[in-house]
Amino acid sequence: MANLCRYFLTQQDLYIILHAIMKNKMKITLLGTGTSQGVPVIACSCRVCSSENFKDKRLRSSIMIEVNDQRFVIDTGPDFRQQMLRENVEDIDAILFTHHHKDHVAGMDDIRAFNHKWKKDMQLYCTERTKKALHMEFPYVFTQEKYPGTPSVDIHVIDSNSFSINGVDITPIDVLHYKMQVFGFRISNFIYLTDVSKVPDSELEKMKGADLIILDALRRKKHLSHLNLDEAIELISKLRPKRALLTHISHYMGLHEEVNNELPDYIDLAFDQQKILLEY
C-alpha cells in the first residue's frame, strides 16, 4: 500500500503536468455554434429542432481561446452566461468582438460576475463602430455616475492592423457581412471567421497556411449576409487549411450527422462544447 501511495499525485503535481502539456498549445472551445436564433428555434418542430442529438443543439456563436496562460472569449451573445457556467470559466483576460449584431453582444452585461470576483475591469477589444454600438446597447455601463454593480469595462479600439494582448499576437481579418464590416481573428495558425459573406482578396492572403479555420456556414441555400455551405467549402478548398470547422449554423442546414457525412474529410460541422488542441 505504501508503495502505491508513492505514485499518487497531489493537486500541485497535476497542475505542473497539465501546465507542461499545455505549454506551446492553444486550446479552442466552441462555446456556441448556432445562428442568431440558436437551435432549436423557439416554437419550431422541424426534425433538426426536435433532434435528440446534443450536436443539434446550438447556442449562439462564440469561442474561447486558451493560450500562453491567457483566456480570451470572442463575442458575448445572449447565451454568454450559460456558456461560462457550462465550461466552469473562472476568469477571462480579454473579450474580442467580431461585430455588434445582437447575437454577438447581447450577453455583455454578464461580465459583471468576473468584475465582482476579481475586482478588475473587463478588457474589451473592438472596432470604433462596435464601441459606439456597445455605448447605445449598454448606456448604463458608460455613464459618469454609475449605478452600483453595473459592469466595468476597459475598451481597446482596434483597426485592421495586428495587435497584441499580453504577448499574444492577433491579426484581424477585415471582411464583409453583407455591407457591414466584420472582423475575423487570426492567432498563430488558427483563424476564427464568423458572420461573413465576402472576403476581399487582400484578406485571403492572411488566411493561408492555417492549421484550423472556423468559418461561417449558415445553411445550404444562398443568403445575403452569410456564406452558405457550398460557398464555405469553396473558400476552404482555396485556402487549404489542415482542418476546418463550420459554425453559425441554422436549423435549415439539416441534421448534424447527415450533413457532416457529406463533407470532405478535413471539413466538419462544429458542435457546442467541442474542444480542439493546436500547436502554438
Which residues of the chain form contacts with Zn ion (CB under 5 A)?
41, 44, 46, 49, 101, 103, 195, 251
Of 18, 14, 60, 69, the closest CA to residue 35 belongs to 60
Q: Rounded to the nearest whole angstrom, what is the least distance from the CB of residue 112 to Zn ion in the complex?
A: 23
Q: Rounded to the nearest whole angstrom, what is the least distance from the CB of residue 268 to Zn ion in the complex?
A: 20
Is 183 or 190 the residue whose CB approaches Zn ion more closely? 183
Is 168 or 229 the residue whose CB approaches Zn ion more closely? 229
- Measure Cα distances from 97 to 35, 146, 218, 239 in Å: 16, 23, 19, 24
Is 169 or 258 the residue whose CB approaches Zn ion more closely? 258
The Cα–Cα gap between 239 and 233 comes to: 10
Q: Rounded to the nearest whole angstrom, what is the least distance from the CB of residue 72 to Zn ion in the complex?
A: 18
Is 57 or 251 the residue whose CB approaches Zn ion more closely? 251
Q: Rounded to the nearest whole angstrom, what is the least distance from the CB of residue 248 to Zn ion in the complex?
A: 6
Is 103 or 174 the residue whose CB approaches Zn ion more closely? 103
Is 126 or 168 the residue whose CB approaches Zn ion more closely? 126
Q: Rounded to the nearest whole angstrom, what is the least distance from the CB of residue 226 to Zn ion in the complex?
A: 8
Judge whether 103 and 36 are in contact, CB under 8 Å: yes
Of 207, 203, 216, the closest CA to residue 103 belongs to 216
Is 252 or 266 the residue whose CB approaches Zn ion more closely? 252
Q: Rounded to the nearest whole angstrom, what is the least distance from the CB of residue 64 to Zn ion in the complex?
A: 17
The Cα–Cα gap between 177 and 57 comes to: 24
